[in-house]
Amino acid sequence: MTVIECRSLVHIYKATDLEVFALQGLDMTIEEGEVVAIVGASGSGKTTLMNVLAAVEKPSAGQALVEGIELGSLTDRARDTYRRDVIGYVWQNATLNLTPELTASENLQLPQLLAGRPRKERLDRATELLDTLGLSHRRDHVPAQLSGGEQQRLALGVAVANRPKVLLADEPTAELDRASARRMLEDLGKLRDRDGTTVVMVTHDHEVERHVDRVLRIRDGRTSTETRAETGELLIVDPAGRLQLPKSVRQEAGLGARVRVRVDGGRVIIERADDG
Ligand code: ADP
Ligand code: MG
């Protein structure tokens, strides 16, 4: 079942006399229970995509659907419900996810309290998450008493406390050492296995690519390639037939702004045009 679908998604930031086209017709489909990494150069639109999926930014054009909910047309109230019940969001800076005065256990209970869950259920879920995340011995510690890796894992626990359908994480391993980053990725996999959570995370970390089902690469605000263990890296052809040839390929083949395309025995051949 499809959980996330973006069709020709466009997001434009408007400053006083400047428009930045952060997403430029992005297409993406993510199935239930998939763990997907979004990679791409700085400024390619990764955070913007996450913020659109988190209903922090509204699409300027095109569509973003999560669990069939069209994010472009949410009322404020529906948006609050969506953010409380459908998604969990892990900010890159773990401390933004945590309440400093509350213990680890209380931090895990807070989102459940806001969702109106009964006390027994909240406590059981907090205990289960502390156990899954290897933080049982930290139950009664406040965030400042935890290491960076522990804080980041607790932040993950807070984001999934209400069993969201979709977990969004923007560079969750960016500030972690190798061992903590690996631990965090294993935890994400466990949560998916236990709750069927769909996970979409932005990353710079090549290690991450070995822990996910699929890697989607964004170039200039569009999904350009997809990598799976079974298929290797594939170029994405959007519904309008567009694809992006990476710069390295264009350079190697000497392609300019115009090319000649022909089909030869089931192969598509793209050649330099003399006037290209
Ligand atoms: P990434 O996360 O891949 O580094 P971003 O989504 O943060 O990329 O940014 C995509 C583009 O949008 C960049 O050119 C960035 O400068 C621009 N941008 C991001 N946020 C804003 C904003 N709030 N206002 C104006 N431009 C922005
Ligand atoms: Mg970013």
pLDDT in tens, 33-64: 999 999 999 999 999 999 999 999 999 999 99
Are 102 and 190 in a shared domain? yes
Residue entry with tokens 């609050």: 80
Q: What is the CATH number of the domain that holds 32?
A: 3.40.50.300
Q: What is the chain's mean pLDDT, rounded?
A: 91
Atom of ligand 1 nearest to the CA of 218: 3
Q: What is the pLDDT of residue 44?
A: 94
Q: What is the pLDDT of residue 276?
A: 53
Containing structural domain, residue 269: 245-276
Q: What is the pLDDT of residue 209?
A: 79
Rounded CA-CA distance 148/94 in Å is 8
Protein residue closest via CA to atom 23 of ligand 1: 13
Is residue 233 over pLDDT 80?
Answer: yes
CA 42 to ligand 2 centroid distance, Å: 7
Q: What is the pLDDT of residue 215?
A: 95
Percent of the residues in the chain that have a pLDDT greater than 90, as a whole number: 69
Are 140 and 163 in a shared domain? yes
Are 50 and 131 in a shared domain? yes
Are 172 and 254 in a shared domain? no
Q: What is the DSSP string of 87-126?
A: EEEE-SSGGGGS-TTS-HHHHHHHHHHHTT--HHHHHHHH
Are 260 and 196 in a shared domain? no
Are 9 and 51 in a shared domain? yes
Q: Which residues surround ligand 2, an ion (CB under 5 A)?
A: 46-47
Rounded CA-CA distance 273/276 in Å is 5
Instruction: Provide the number of structural domains found in the chain.
Output: 2
Are 85 and 177 in a shared domain? yes
Atom of ligand 1 nearest to the CA of 221: 10
Which residue in 161, 150, 170 sits closest to 90, CA to CA? 170
Residues 75-98 as b or e (16 or more Cβ within 10 Å = b): eeeebeebbeebbbbbbbebeebb
Average pLDDT over residues 21-44: 95
**How many angstroms separate the first and last alpha carbons of the chain?**
43
Residues 104-118 as b or e (16 or more Cβ within 10 Å = b): bbbbbbbbbeeeebe
Are 221 and 192 in a shared domain? yes
Are 194 and 77 in a shared domain? yes
Both tokens of residue 218?
């964004």
Are 144 and 10 in a shared domain? yes
Are 262 and 134 in a shared domain? no
Are 235 and 251 in a shared domain? no
Mutate to test the pocket of ligand 1, among 20, 39, 53, 171 (most ligand atoms within 8 A of CB): 20
Q: Is the CB of 107 under 6 A from ligand 1?
A: no
Q: What is the pLDDT of residue 216?
A: 96
